[in-house]
Amino acid sequence: MLHGESVRAVAHRPSHAHLVRPEWPEVYPDTVCAVVVPASRPSQGLSAAVALAEELDCPLVVACSGRARVEDVARELDSWQGVAFAIPEEPPTAVRRMRTRELALESRHRFRPVAAAAGVGDPRASKSFQTKDEVVAAGADVTTGVVELVGSAADPAPYLDASTKRNVALLLSRQLGWRRLLFLDDDIQPPPASEIARGVSMLGPGGASMASWPAHEFPDNSVVCHARRTVGLTQDTFLAGGCLLVDLTRPLPFFPAVYNEDWLFCWEAVRDRRMALPGTVDQQPYNPFDPRRAAREEFGDVLGEGLFALLHQSPADLLLGLVGKGPVADRTKIVEPARYRGYWSQVIDGRRQLHGEVVARLEALARFTPAALQQLEAVRAGQERLDRITSHELAEFVALWQQDLATWRYELAQLRRQDSYKAALNQLGIDEFQRVGVM
């Protein structure tokens, strides 16, 4: 078992819910020190986050990229308080030192793009739609009704941007001495402040170290897991970083630059049975059946499912949800099989079975349902990417991820406390920022 050579075939698990303790005592009253939004959409989408931060009486911190511009976000914050900043081309040293980040950068050079979901002259590119179901079926953006044209210039490492912004926010939080932090994506409709307060009261020395609100209304799943649900197979959602509360007084992990970065960030908390799920949220709908998306997700989806499968096989004292039981050394050994190729060969075999079952069902549906054709195209793109994933790559990533955890925690320990956003951001080498109503 330790060397991953004798592990049985790792089948896809439609739910990881039993890995999380269902209830937590609400005995640690505290406050949220900041709401952090890693934003890439226009600033008008921040209204819900601004309202939540105001109700929680804490600043809103917005890490900007893409169509989210610092000056626009600062104007949106004008009615409240907070700071907006842009990540420089060279991020802080603690982020640059991550070996897993280097892998994401390298992937830009060796990624083979997937064919477009709708190309020039495709009738779907100019079709008008009446319902959300029609939009999704045709491969269009749910909010605009416009088909996304997938080109060869598509960035194969979009998770690099998201992980960098989240990691910089963690560095900033440590510099400013914050205790509780809420990550909120800009496509999430957040829960009420009273529910966030409930989540905060679950975090403490004998309680949870993180609390997540998974997206159930428009489920937060990968392409192939969306397809499972479409063809009538059972598929649950699990924890997500879109609305994630973190106890900053605990040893902090980091967000790797890979799909399922939030699962990897939360992996130790789930391993130690210190994850809470106080409720659910709504996510802005999108078209999940995009071949480009399927290809980009596949490596991280195999990785995340394989790592969480280990927790289903962990010792009984952990599976029973007895928080903190068992020597720390024993708990850290749970990841050991994932350092070896034998384990990942079994995971890949199980993944091929998953794809095969979904494709067979979609092929049958495609004879009667036009929408199934597009879904089939997306899942096959994931299949093609899976064929290029090796057990060596997965084992290497896990080894580097474990090294990065040690490096990251060392870098956090070197940070000096600062008394203002300006001083903290300057220490991180971030020059483009605007403050509103704060130091």
The answer to whether position 136 is within a domain reads no
**238: containing domain:** 17-115+150-434
CATH number at residue 368: 3.90.550
At residue 331, the pLDDT reads 80
At residue 332, the pLDDT reads 82
At residue 244, the pLDDT reads 98
Closest-CA residue to 384 (of 257, 299, 288, 264): 299
* Beta-ladder partners of 210: 246, 275
The answer to whether position 272 is within a domain reads yes
The answer to whether position 234 is within a domain reads yes
At residue 5, the pLDDT reads 45
At residue 95, the pLDDT reads 97
The answer to whether position 292 is within a domain reads yes
How many structural domains are present in the chain? 1
The answer to whether position 404 is within a domain reads yes
At residue 44, the pLDDT reads 81
The answer to whether position 91 is within a domain reads yes
pLDDT < 70 regions, the chain: 1-7, 108-157, 314-329, 438-439
The answer to whether position 317 is within a domain reads yes
At residue 78, the pLDDT reads 87
At residue 9, the pLDDT reads 75
Q: Which residues of 236-274 are buried (b: 16+ CB within 10 A; e: fewer)?
A: ebbbbbbbbbbbbebebbbbbbbbbbbbbbbbbbbbbbb
**d(C-alpha 273, C-alpha 209), whole Å:** 9
Record the tokens describing residue 39, joined without a space. 């934003």
Outline where DSSP puts E strands in 58-157: 60-64, 82-86
At residue 220, the pLDDT reads 86
At which residue do the structure tokens 């049985």 appear?
A: 8
